[in-house]
Amino acid sequence: MKVGFIGTGSMGSILVDAFLTAKTLTPDQIIVSNRTREKALLLSDRFPGLTVAETNIQTVQMSEIIFLCVKPLEFKRVIDDVSPHLGSNKIVISITSPILIEDLEKQMPCKIAKVIPSITNSVAAGASLLMFGNRCGKADRIKVRNLFEQISRPLEIEESKVRVSSDIVSCGPAFISYLLQRFIHAAVEETGISNEEATFLTTEMVIGLAALLSRGPFDLPTLQQRVCVPGGVTGAGILALEQIGDVFNHMYKNTQKRYDEDLKDVSDMFYGTNH
C-alpha cells in the first residue's frame, strides 16, 4: 500500500517520521509533496527510498491513501488541483478540524476520513481522533485505524465533538507545556533554585506521573489523596491552586470561538461570501 502526504510542514513531517520509526510503513511506501519542495527533500535525505513527487497530482496518482497536511485556508487550492485525479477507491484523510467531512465529500469523488493526530504520536504515544465519511466502508475504517494503532491510541469520535477532543489531544501538549513552564518559572522566582535544576525535576516528575497513570494504580483524585498528607504541605499548595477559577473554561471558550471563525472562513473559501 502506498501512502501520500501533501504538506510536509510540522505535522506532515511528524506523521511521516512516526509511521517510519514505528515501522508501520517503509520509505518505499511513502510519497510526499510540499509547496516548498526543499522541505520535502529534507525528508528524503533523512529517509532514503521515500519519493518526493514533483506535484500534488503525482502524489495522488501514486497513492492509495492520501493525507492532506496543509492549513485550513490552503485546502481549496490543493483540492481543486487534485480532485480530478482521485478515483472513488482512494481514501483522502484530512488532519484539520475545521474542514468538515461533508464539505470534502462535496469537493472530491473519493472516500473521506478525518484524523486529528498529536505531536505525542511522534513517540508512538497519546491518542488520535478518527472520523469517517459515509463512503468509507468497514475495510477502509480498519485500514485507517490499523495505521494509527501503530503510533497512537486511536479513538473514533463524532465530528461534532472534534473541537473539545482535539483541544485535549492535539492542543493539550502545548497547553500543559505552558503550565509546566509557569510552574518552573515560579519555582525559580520564589526560591532561587536554578532553572536547569527545576526543569530537570519537573520533567522527571511529569514522566513519572505519566507512567503512574498509564500503569493504572491510581486515578487522578486517588493520586491527589495519596500525596496530600492530612495537614501537610501539598494541601497548603492545593489551597493556592484552588484560586485558578474558571481559566480552563475561558480556554475552551477561546478555542471554540477561534474554531467558529475558522469554519466561517473555510465556508467562504469553498462557497464564496454570499452563499
Ligand X SMILES: NC(=O)C1=CN([C@@H]2O[C@H](COP(=O)(O)OP(=O)(O)OC[C@H]3O[C@@H](n4cnc5c(N)ncnc54)[C@H](OP(=O)(O)O)[C@@H]3O)[C@@H](O)[C@H]2O)C=CC1
Binding site for ligand X (CB under 6 A): 6-12, 33-36, 39, 56, 69-72, 74, 77-78, 95-96, 116-119, 170
Q: Which of residues 73-102 bind ligand A1CAB (CB under 6 A)?
A: none
Q: Evaluate whether 266 touches 258 at the Cβ level (below 8 Å).
A: no
Q: Distance between CA 73 and CA 86 in Å, rounded?
A: 21
Task: Using the minimum distance from each CB to ligand A1CAB, give the nearer residue, 63 or 121.
Answer: 121
Judged by CB under 6 A, does residue 166 bind ligand A1CAB?
yes
DSSP 5: E
C-alpha cell recorded at residue 48 = 532514503
Q: Evaluate whether 74 touches 262 at the Cβ level (below 8 Å).
A: no
Q: Is 230 left (phi over 0), alpha (psi -120 to 50) or beta?
A: beta
Minimum Å distance from CB 124 to ligand A1CAB?
A: 18
By the 10 Å C-beta count (0-12 exposed, 13-18 middle, 19+ buried), 79 is classed as: buried
Q: Evaluate whether 208 touches 226 at the Cβ level (below 8 Å).
A: no
Q: Looking up cell 514505528, which residue turns up?
A: 22
Q: Is 11 annotated as a binding residue?
A: yes
Q: Which of 171, 180, 198, 206 binds ligand A1CAB (CB under 6 A)?
A: 171
For residue 56, the partner it binds in ligand A1CAB, ligand X, none, with Cβ less than 5 to 8 A by kind, is ligand X
Judged by CB under 6 A, does residue 165 bind ligand A1CAB?
no
Q: Is 9 annotated as a binding residue?
A: yes
Task: Select from 32-40, 49-57, 130-138, 166-174 the region that touches ligand A1CAB (CB under 6 A).
Answer: 166-174
Task: Using the minimum distance from each CB to ligand A1CAB, give the nearer residue, 10 or 26.
Answer: 10
Q: Looking up cell 469517517, which residue turns up?
A: 132
Task: Using the minimum distance from each CB to ligand X, give the nearer residue, 29 or 56.
Answer: 56
Judged by CB under 6 A, does residue 121 bind ligand A1CAB?
no
Q: Is 160 annotated as a binding residue?
A: no
Strand partners, 132: 113
In the complex, which residues of this chain contact ligand A1CAB (CB under 6 A)? 166, 170-171
